């Protein structure tokens, strides 16, 4: 234990969704995402077992306490049942007013517009509350769903990062996308 005092947990509302800081009881929710090959096939790491999911959650909880925060790793939930983690969305701060964006949903929750709503809210939080200037998203070149998602939100493709990640026993390129502060146009509801 660090003895550090947690600040007020972050909660963001996006329509019927609530994006919230992860909590100590979220191990099953984390495992349901990062333990599923259908999800991790597209991520930068192979599927994790329960102990590894627990370690991952411990790290997330630890980094929540950093001042200033360098990471916003939020659980995607429905506001009506915030204890059920259906995905995550993350901003990892680095560089000058910049952050990397990441996200994933449990397979049974995909294809319903949830990522679009959650990522939009996180972009708004990044450019608005955090005062960021530049967001990047690095995506496996075969990940059509993810590339379509960021393109539909106004991200532009910048190029290819060669052999960017080593996962599932092989190197993988990333297609690199970015969105600048002035380019963000919140969708009209
Ligand atoms: C990428 C992911 C988060 C998208 O989540 P989702 O909730 O299904 O996405 P949405 O329903 O909000 O759709 C967003 C856009 O992507 C498109 N899309 C979603 N799934 C798609 C698919 N399988 N093929 C093609 N396009 C797809 C939608 O049509 C939509 O585009 P539009 O607004 O132009 O119609 C989800 O597929 C996922 O978790 N994948 C595994 C993890 C992952 O790839 N994470 C990102 C790593 S870079």
Residue of 103, 145, 151, 152 to test ligand 1 pocket, by largest number of atoms within 8 Å of CB: 145
pLDDT tens, residue by residue, 115-148: 999 999 999 999 999 999 999 999 999 999 999 9
Best CA proximity match to 153, nearest among 184, 108, 176: 184
Domain presence at residue 87: yes
- How many separate helices (H) and strands (E) can be counted in the chain? 5, 8
pTM of the model: 0.95
pLDDT tens, residue by residue, 74-116: 999 999 999 999 999 999 999 999 999 999 999 999 999 999 9
Residue of 115, 141, 147, 168 to test ligand 1 pocket, by largest number of atoms within 8 Å of CB: 115
Does 1 score more than 70 pLDDT?
no
Task: Give dist(CA 183, CA 3) in Å, integer.
Answer: 41
85: helix, strand or coil: coil
The domain total for the chain is: 1
Domain presence at residue 165: no
Can you tell me which atom of ligand 1 is nearest the CA of 118?
12
Can you tell me which atom of ligand 1 is nearest the CA of 139?
48
> Domain containing 121 — which CATH number?
3.40.630.30
Range of the domain at 77: 11-131
pLDDT tens, residue by residue, 151-172: 999 999 999 999 999 988 999 9
Can you tell me which atom of ligand 1 is nearest the CA of 43?
47
């Amino acid at each position: 234990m660090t003895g550090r005092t947690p600040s007020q947990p972050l909660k963001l509302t996006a329509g019927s969704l609530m994006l919230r800081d992860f909590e100590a009881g979220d191990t099953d929710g984390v495992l349901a995402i990062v333990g599923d090959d259908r999800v991790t096939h597209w991520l930068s790491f192979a599927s994790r077992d329960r102990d590894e999911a627990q370690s991952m959650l411990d790290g997330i909880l630890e980094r929540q306490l950093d001042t200033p925060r360098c990471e916003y790793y939020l659980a995607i939930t429905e506001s009506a049942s915030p204890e059920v983690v259906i995905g995550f969305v993350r901003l990892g701060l680095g560089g000058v007013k910049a952050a990397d964006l990441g996200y994933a949903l449990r397979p049974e929750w995909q294809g319903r517009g949830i990522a679009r709503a959650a990522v939009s809210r996180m972009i708004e939080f990044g450019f608005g509350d955090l005062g960021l200037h530049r967001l990047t998203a690095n995506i496996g070149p075969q990940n059509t769903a993810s590339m379509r998602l960021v393109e539909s939100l106004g991200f532009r493709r910048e190029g290819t990062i060669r052999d960017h990640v080593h996962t599932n026993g092989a190197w993988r390129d990333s297609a690199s996308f970015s969105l600048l502060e002035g380019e963000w146009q919140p969708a009209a509801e």
